[in-house]
């Protein structure tokens, strides 16, 4: 059974078509890379895959949920996303951010300390998120996804601006999701890097998706 299946999906934002006739399939264990220039619709596509953006044309299924139905509320906790901006509450400490996620998702709170150590932030855990560097904020997002173990991982330029150790953490997270039988979609404007790290790559040009390899 495919993790994701989109058929003839089209999206317009502010009256302007952003994605057209998108056909897309992601299988368990697959890492799919999507490249495209800035403004080509990569982030919009990821938001559709995350079920956070409703489609206007076509149909789609994500983790067995029709993306145009209320079933998306059931599968959303199985989707993990690292977007352009870190999804953290700036006024909370790094530790509190993780605790908040653990409490909302029902993960055991004692696991928070362990994942903080895995991402190398156990000694900086009392620092407020809005006073932490971009790299630290990214590490907390990785820690969040290590806690919640998503089946579908969506990475939106997730490694840009990160040092090699933080990039290794994201690679390890990707491996774990794939190892658990999940799938990963990663978008970047760097096609060469995607070709190295993904099973297949696609290119998004003027709202249309084409298979590259």
Partner 1 sequence: MSFWTQTIEIARIDLRVERRLGDTLRIVLPFAVVALLVFPLALGIELAVISRIGPAVFWALGILFGMQVALRQSVTDSQERRDLHALAGVDPAARFVGRIISGGVLMMVFLLVLFLAMVLLYGPALPEGSWSTMLISSALFSVGLAELGTLAGEVTTGLRNRTALASLIVAPLALPLVIGASQSLEALSRGTGILTWVLLMAVTDLTLAVVGVGLARPLEEATR
Looking at the Cβ atoms of 2 and 96, the one nearer to partner 1 is 96
CB of 83 to partner 1, least distance (A): 7
List binders of partner 1 among 109-128 (CB under 8 A).
none
Picking from 4, 56, 54, the residue whose alpha carbon sits closest to that of residue 27 is 4
Residues 6+ apart with CB under 8 A from 127: 93, 94, 136
Q: Are 166 and 86 in contact (CB under 8 A)?
A: no
| Rama region for 57: left / alpha / beta (φ>0; ψ in -120 to 50; rest) | beta
C-alpha–C-alpha distance, residues 155 and 16, integer Å: 25
Query: Is residue 11 within the footprint of partner 1 (CB under 8 A)?
Result: no
Q: Are 15 and 123 in contact (CB under 8 A)?
A: no
Counting every residue written for the chain, the total comes to: 213
Among 14, 70, 108, 123, interactor with partner 1 by CB under 8 A: 70
List binders of partner 1 among 134-173 (CB under 8 A).
148
* Residues near partner 1 (CB under 8 A), total: 28
> 72-111 mask for partner 1 (x: CB under 8 A)?
-x--xx-xxx-x-xxxxx-xx---x---xx-xxxx-----
CB of 59 to partner 1, least distance (A): 17
| Secondary structure percentages of the chain, helix, strand, coil, to 5 | 35, 30, 35
Among 3, 22, 53, 177, interactor with partner 1 by CB under 8 A: 53
Query: Where does this chain bind partner 1 (CB under 8 A)?
Result: 47, 50, 52-54, 70, 73, 76-77, 79-81, 83, 85-89, 91-92, 96, 100-101, 103-106, 148
């Amino acid at each position: 059974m495919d993790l994701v299946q989109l058929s003839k999906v089209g999206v317009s934002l502010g009256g302007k078509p952003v994605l057209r006739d998108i056909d897309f399939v992601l299988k368990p264990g697959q890492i799919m890379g999507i490249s495209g220039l800035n403004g080509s619709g990569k982030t919009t596509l990821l938001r559709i895959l995350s079920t956070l953006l409703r489609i206007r044309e076509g149909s789609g299924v994500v983790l067995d949920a029709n993306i145009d139905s209320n079933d998306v509320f059931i599968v959303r906790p199985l989707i993990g996303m690292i977007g352009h901006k870190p999804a953290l509450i700036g006024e909370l400490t790094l530790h509190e951010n993780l605790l908040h996620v653990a409490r909302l998702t029902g993960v055991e709170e004692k696991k928070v300390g362990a994942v903080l150590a895995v991402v190398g932030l156990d000694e900086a855990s009392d620092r407020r998120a809005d006073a932490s560097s971009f790299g630290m904020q990214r590490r907390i997002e990785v820690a969040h996804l290590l806690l919640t173990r998503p089946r579908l991982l969506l990475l939106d330029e997730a490694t840009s601006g990160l040092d090699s150790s933080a990039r290794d953490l994201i690679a390890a997270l990707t491996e774990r999701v794939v190892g658990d039988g999940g799938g990963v979609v990663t978008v970047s404007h760097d096609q060469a890097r995607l070709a190295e790290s993904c099973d297949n790559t696609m290119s998004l040009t003027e709202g249309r998706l084409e298979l590259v390899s």
